[in-house]
C-alpha cells in the first residue's frame, strides 16, 4: 500500500513538472513580442502586457483569439497566426504558465 501511495504521489509531481515545461515550450513563440517575463509592451499596446494576469483571464483571451471572437482591441495578425497553431488542450497549459509572471 505504501508503494502505491508513493507511486501515485510521484506521478502527480512528475505530471506537474511536465505541464510547467510544456507551458514554457509553448511560450517560446510568445516571448519575441511579450518578453521572457510577459512585461514587454508589444507594438506599444499596454493591453499586451501579460505579467500580473490570472489564469482564467489569460485563458479566456487566448480562447477568444483562437476562435476569432476577441473584440477588445485590434489583435496583431502575428498573434492570430501563432495562437491558431495551438491545440485547444494547449490553451490552459499556456495560460497557467503565463499566470505565474509577476508584474
> What's the pLDDT tens digit per position in 62-83?
999 899 887 666 666 788 888 9
The predicted structure's pLDDT at residue 2: 55
Q: Give mean pLDDT, residues 55-61.
A: 94
Average pLDDT, the chain: 80
* Angle between helical axes of 2-27 and 90-98 (0-180°, round to 10): 80
Percent of residues, the chain, with pLDDT higher than 90: 46
How many C-alpha atoms does 16 have within 13 Å on its Cβ side?
6
CA neighbor of 97 nearest in space, from 11, 18, 9:
18
pTM: 0.76
Residue identified by cell 490552459 is 92
Contacts of 52 (CB under 8 A, 6+ apart): 101, 102, 103
The predicted structure's pLDDT at residue 36: 93
Amino acid at each position: 500500500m505504501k508503494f502505491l501511495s508513493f507511486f501515485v504521489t510521484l506521478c502527480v509531481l512528475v505530471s506537474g513538472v511536465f505541464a510547467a515545461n510544456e507551458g514554457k515550450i509553448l511560450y517560446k513563440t510568445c516571448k519575441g513580442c511579450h518578453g521572457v517575463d510577459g512585461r514587454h509592451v508589444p507594438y506599444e499596446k499596454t493591453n499586451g502586457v501579460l505579467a500580473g494576469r490570472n489564469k482564467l483571464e489569460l485563458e479566456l483571451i487566448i480562447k477568444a483569439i483562437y476562435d476569432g471572437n476577441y473584440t477588445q482591441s485590434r489583435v496583431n495578425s502575428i498573434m492570430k497566426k501563432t495562437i491558431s497553431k495551438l491545440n485547444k488542450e494547449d490553451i490552459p497549459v499556456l495560460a497557467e504558465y503565463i499566470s505565474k509572471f509577476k508584474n
